[in-house]
Amino acid sequence: FKNAPARFERGGIEYAHWLDGDGYVTSLALDDGMATWSARYVRTDAFDNEDASDAVEWRTTFGTQKPGGVLANAMDIKLKSPANTNVMLFGDKLYALWEAGPPYALDPHTLECQGASDLGGRLRLSSSHGALP
């Protein structure tokens, strides 16, 4: 499994930095001499909202601002979680990680996003954690 930033624009507006890109998880499975490669965007709530509107709706860590200039962004302390930094297999779930938000559970076979996870009550969803080993 691998996770990295992949989508770098919405509605024709380019993200300010490539590390603001939405998470894209890839998988290479080997079975009985056959290789299967699959990939999916990590469909966080923010990803789905922006996908539906085809517009930047969130501020990001590395400088992408939502439309509206300084007044629309200055007091908005919420950051978009791109879930684009790492992946971790834990039990029967795969987790897409980012440094300043909760892990997102993925089905390790289909890579379908199952939502933000508190790891069975071990994390507060509003907390930050390490995404790198």
Tokens of 47: 């990803």
Annotated ligand binding at 109? The verdict is no
Spatial neighbors of 125 by CB under 8 A, at least 6 apart, are: 102, 116, 118
d(CA 76, CA 35): 45
d(CA 107, CA 74): 37
Question: In terms of Cα–Cα distance, which of 21, 26, 22, 23 is closest to 39?
Answer: 26
**H helices within 11-131, ranges in order?**
45-53, 69-73
Binding-site annotation: residue ranges for Fe cation: 129
Binding residue positions: 129
